[in-house]
Structure 1
Amino acid sequence: MKITDECIACGACVDTCPVSAIVEAGDKYKITDDCTECGACADSCPVSAIVA
């Protein structure tokens, strides 16, 4: 999974990640190598900024 530049840094994805693989990266968020590709974050993103 990857967070694109469309990210508005709302933080909705952070709370939905079951393995805490989303962290702040400046004014946006990024997905770490701990990601299991479950897709929960993508489903929670209000601007569809998370892609496989």
Structure 2
Amino acid sequence: MILISWNIDSLNAALTGTSARAEETRGVLDKIHALNPDIIAIQETKLRATG
């Protein structure tokens, strides 16, 4: 079983931003996808209530 826990500190910024941090976060997301984990626990997503 593969379990990944990640404190992302704003998924919204990572998905919509163009900063170096946003690029790095997208790289981590690609790595997580490649690992095909059974469970992913993501903390501090900071998503908007709507949209």
Relative contact order higher in (CA < 8 Å, ≥ 6 apart): 2
TM-score (norm 2): 0.29
Q: Which has the larger radius of gyration?
A: 2
TM-score (norm 1): 0.29
